[in-house]
C-alpha cells in the first residue's frame, strides 16, 4: 500500500499527521509531507485512519496490486 497526497487539495489541517505521525510528517508550512509513500507492513490501519481524517480527502491510498 502507498500513501499519496494531492497537494492541490491539502489545506494543512494536519489531522492526517495527528492520526499517523509515523507515516505522515508536516512540512514547514504545516502541509502533509510524505518522504516514503510505502506503508510498512502492519501500519495499513494507521494509513486508513489518516486518509479518513482528512476533511479535504487529499490523502489517497493505493493498493500495491494497482501499481
pLDDT at 3: 96
Look at residues 24, 1, 22 and name the one whose alpha carbon lies nearest to residue 10.
24
* Tens of pLDDT, residues 7-32: 999 999 999 999 999 999 999 999 99
Q: Give the number of domains in the chain.
A: 1
Write out the H or E segment, with its range, that includes residue 32: strand 32-33
Q: How far apart are CA 27 and CA 29, in angstroms?
A: 5
What average pLDDT does the chain have?
A: 94
26 Cβ contact list (under 8 Å, min separation 6): 12, 14, 17, 32, 33
* CATH number of the domain where residue 13 is located: 3.30.70.20
**pLDDT score at 67:** 53
The whole-angstrom separation of Cα 27 and Cα 30 is: 5
- Which residue range is the domain that position 12 belongs to? 2-66
Amino acid at each position: 500500500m502507498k500513501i499519496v497526497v494531492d497537494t492541490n487539495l491539502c489545506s494543512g489541517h494536519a489531522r492526517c499527521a495527528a492520526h499517523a505521525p509515523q507515516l505522515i510528517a508536516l512540512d514547514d508550512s504545516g502541509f502533509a509531507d510524505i518522504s516514503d509513500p510505502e506503508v510498512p507492513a502492519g501500519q495499513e490501519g494507521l494509513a486508513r485512519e489518516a486518509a479518513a481524517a482528512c476533511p479535504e480527502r487529499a490523502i489517497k491510498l493505493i493498493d500495491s496490486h494497482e501499481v
